[in-house]
Structure 1
């Protein structure tokens, strides 16, 4: 595998975590009713992406393949739990 193919493979591997982090972070900022700055939203997106990427890597190591539904279910549960925790005052 060449470097360009490896880059695209890694990008596609982490895409679900990135999409869920961005959508969840923006939705949280919109639905919370709080006036959040760009830094606060960016911090929440970065935290959710880091945790989601960790779940994807753990799923790859434990299950032996990427793209398993159990890994994606764990990704949704972890990111959703963190978003729910972030809405607490």
Structure 2
């Protein structure tokens, strides 16, 4: 595997976490427009993306391979938790 192949392999491994984090942040900003007015879309996306990436790595370590449904469930939890904490914590 050369460097370009490794780059695309890693990019495609982390792409679902970042894409779902961006979609989830956009959806949250649309659904809770007034409540999340002060919170930037980019901040929600970045925190969700990092949480989802960490969850994918954890799933890879625990399950031994990528692409299992439990791993994607952990990814959704890893994305949702930071976004929920940022969005609905008191005293934001």
Q: TM-score range by the shorter chain?
A: 0.7 to 0.9
Aligned-residue RMSD, C-alpha: 1.6
Count of residue correspondences: 87
Q: Superposed, which structure 2 residues align to 1:75-86 within 5 Å?
A: 75-86=75-86
Higher helix share: 1
Counterpart of 2:55 in structure 1 is 55
Q: How much does 1:36 deviate?
A: 4.3
Structure 1 segments (4+ residues) deviating >3 Å: 81-87
CA distance, structure 2, for counterparts of residue 24 and residue 70 of structure 1: 19
TM-score, L = length of structure 1: 0.85
CA distance, structure 1, for counterparts of residue 52 and residue 87 of structure 2: 18
CA distance, structure 1, for counterparts of residue 19 and residue 30 of structure 2: 16
* Structure 1, gaps ≥5 residues long: none
CA distance, structure 1, for counterparts of residue 73 and residue 45 of structure 2: 19
8 Å contact kept, 1:29–1:36: no
* Structure 2, gaps ≥5 residues long: none
